[in-house]
Amino acid sequence: MSVPLKQNLTLDSDLQYVRGVGPALASLFARNGYKTVGDFITNYPRTYEDQRAARLIATLKDGDIVSLKAYVANVSSYTMGKSTRKIYDVLVKDSSGQIRCKFFRVPYKGYFERFKSGKEVRVVGKVTNYRGRIEFHHPEIKDVEPDEVLQDALVPIYVEHEGMNSTKIQKLIQNCFAQIKGWDADKFPDTVLKKHNLITREQALLEVHNPNIVDATLYNEFKSPAHRRIIFEEFFWLELFLASKKANLKKEQGIVIENKDAFAQKLVQSLPFALTDAQVQAYQEIKQDLSSGKPMNRLVQGDVGAGKTLVSFMSVLSTFESGYQSCLMAPTEILAEQHYRNALKQLSPLGVQVGLLTGKTKVKERKEIMGKLISGEIQFLIGTHALIEDWVQFKNLALVIIDEQHRFGVAQRSILKSKGYSPHFLIMTATPIPRTLAMTVYGDLDISIINEMPIGRTPIQTRVIQESKRNQALNFMIEQIQKGRQAYFVYPLVEESEKIDLKNATEEYEKLKTQFPEVRFGLLHGRMKSQEKDEIMQLFRDHKIDVLVSTTVIEVGVDVPNANIMIIEHAERFGLSQLHQLRGRVGRGEHKSFCVMIMSYAVSAETKARVEFMEKTSDGFKVAEYDLEIRGPGEFMGARQSGLGGFKMANLVRDFDLLKLARDSAFEILKNDPDLKRKEHALIREELLKSYGPSALAGVG
């Protein structure tokens, strides 16, 4: 059924009315989040192909980003060393020479079968110097259309959707512009545009899809005036939302926890070590918040083993001393139980009644906990998601501690907040978050950083090796086991995958048991039931297991001081911050500790350099900065900030200067006009309510 075209479209018009779209294509694009004309023209080019730069192979040099026509000379595949993983090699040539296009993974089934000898193709990608020879790594290899003509133009390149190629998307976007007859008014007042030298939104949208070839470099570096406007705007809406939330939090009345710390000081005096300056500073900041009369909303960032939990327990003691209750929510039962054991050891001797509530707590125990919570007999409840169940009610909850905040969403935090009268929130994360990201993701929170390690903590010795030295690593592990130590063996997969040729935990567990029959192995992975996981972890803690073969389920919270060696297979498959979190599971006791990261044979020079960075530092903040720079913010984003996931163009590292401008602008506007009631801010207010909804907004209603 055909749909009659409408020539006078607005940004809110249904996409199906655009020439060349129709109901079927509109449905496809809707699945990718593009329902209206306005949605579709925010499908920004991922890069631009400078077709003036069509080059001969002989002229290429390292670092060039090129588009060239060539002919397929040969397609082959091979493996390196003992690996079974294939490297694919497409050799292309032109009149001046030849160059290899290497692929370390198959883009999709049947990809290489397309390239017959003599076929003309277009190769678009970055030239890389690999071991003294220039080649392409994972370039885009496209068929040359029969009527294709090189344009003297800068051509936008789009992400392809289910067979819808970039050229077709470009044409449909141009059809949108041809049919749009009504543009929305710019949301930003002239004062903002002039102050930050920004073009209008309409102009930015037109130019980002119709680039000027004179500014080719600016476009490919995302620095054109069109890019600046769009990036600023993406940052601005999130920062305005965060500024609004923070402003409203300052208006709320909170429980006053008197500035007492007699019990906290007793705890400190009982410890066999002194607090670091960073721990003392964080505790002082928390005490100030607790006694301010405003609800605390503070994030405590600290590297693995930096002592965040101890600081949170001192905060619990301050709350306890003033006669109030606290709770702590952890993302896993293993971590909740670990906190519970530590609390019993450190807080119970000071008179704090500690309770534990998880998914496996039996009905009888739950009833008992409920009675003790309501009466105030339990002063500190530790648990998992079970804490947010309706029946969990407190007598006078004043402090909520959340461990590993990025594992929880806004809704869960709101439920916990409703269980007390505007309680204080203390959020802990062992994922060191770079300031560039913390400023955005946690813009509504105050931040304390614990960036010192306790005195006497031995640094973990890290080695990155190739797969050829795997047996040496195994022998070293066995030497440590014979000395009475324990080890982790970590894999990226649970079971064998047909699509990815990697070692996997279940298969290697069986192989290791056969290879070293005298060693006691255990297997742990995310598909196990909670009870199975707990049993395995208890056996490992009790030293009834020597080597724990695991997936990343042990990334957070597992604390076994006798485990001093970790071996990570296929280290190139992990993010650096994840590798750092895994590495932090060892080095928690008195023994010198080691982390061996094994890379596959077939890794690019860039990947090798990335993993080898782990040998250079044990500072989680440096690792996180580097990881964010090369991988982007995805690793750090959780459900908490849905707006952050909405960035279509902005990049937190590349565009940090614009982030600061947008943040300053948003906070300044809200400072001068808290309710956005001024005439010039009416459209900003309308957009904010539209984007986040009245319930999500704090300061604007």
Q: What is the pLDDT of residues 461-513, one digit of tens each?
A: 999 998 889 999 999 999 999 999 999 999 887 665 545 556 788 888 999 99
Calculate what percentage of the chain has a pLDDT beyond 90. 41
**What's the confidence (pLDDT) of residue 696?**
43
**Segment 113-126 mean pLDDT:** 89
CB 133 within 8 A of CB 62: no
Of 442 and 699, the structure prediction assigns the larger pLDDT to 442
CB 40 within 8 A of CB 34: yes
- In the three-class reduction of DSSP (H, G, I as helix; E, B as strand; rest coil), residue 124 is classed as strand
Largest CA distance in the chain: 86
- Residues 291-332 have pLDDT tens digits of 988 889 898 988 777 889 999 999 999 999 999 999 999 887
Q: Which two tokens stand for residue 112?
A: 């290489």
Of 247 and 257, the structure prediction assigns the larger pLDDT to 257
Superfamily (CATH) of domain 262-450: P-loop containing nucleotide triphosphate hydrolases (3.40.50.300)
Parallel, antiparallel, or unpaired for β 547-550 and 486-490?
parallel
Residue 409 binned pLDDT confidence (cut-offs 50, 70, 90): low
CATH class label, 55-149:
mainly beta
Q: Which two tokens stand for residue 274?
A: 């002194």
Query: Quick check: 449 pLDDT over 50?
Result: yes
Residue 436 binned pLDDT confidence (cut-offs 50, 70, 90): low
**Segment 28-35 mean pLDDT:** 87
**What's the confidence (pLDDT) of residue 501?**
57
Q: Which of 50-64, 140-154, 333-347, 427-441 has the highest mean pLDDT?
A: 333-347
- In the block, residue with structure tokens 């986040």: 692
**Segment 82-92 mean pLDDT:** 82
Q: Which two tokens stand for residue 34?
A: 């593009």
User: Beta strands of 323-438 (E only): which ranges?
Assistant: 325-329, 354-357, 380-383, 397-403, 424-429
> Phi and psi dihedrals of 144, rounded to 5?
-90, 120
Parallel, antiparallel, or unpaired for β 380-383 and 325-329?
parallel
Q: Would you say the CATH fold of 461-617 matches that of 262-450?
A: yes
- In the three-class reduction of DSSP (H, G, I as helix; E, B as strand; rest coil), residue 152 is classed as coil
Q: What is the CATH number of domain 461-617?
A: 3.40.50.300
Q: Is the dihedral of CA 469, 474, 478, 484 positive or negative?
A: positive
What global pTM score does this model have?
0.63
Cα–Cα distance between 430 and 580 in angstroms, integer?
A: 10
Of 601 and 217, the structure prediction assigns the larger pLDDT to 217
- Residues 253-276 have pLDDT tens digits of 778 888 788 999 999 999 888 899
- In the block, residue with structure tokens 């004309």: 37
Cα–Cα distance between 492 and 487 in angstroms, integer?
A: 17
- Lowest mean pLDDT of 105-114, 163-172, 599-608, name the range: 599-608
Q: What is the CATH number of domain 1-48+164-181?
A: 1.10.150
Cα–Cα distance between 159 and 166 in angstroms, integer?
A: 7
Query: Quick check: 345 pLDDT over 90?
Result: yes
How crowded is the C-beta side of 526, counted as CA atoms within 13 Å?
Answer: 13
CB 358 within 8 A of CB 333: yes
DSSP alpha helix (H) spans, 46-189: 166-179
Domain ranges of the chain: 1-48+164-181, 55-149, 185-251+655-701, 262-450, 461-617
- Residues 628-650 have pLDDT tens digits of 776 655 444 443 333 344 578 98
**What's the confidence (pLDDT) of residue 5?**
54
Cα–Cα distance between 443 and 676 in angstroms, integer?
A: 19
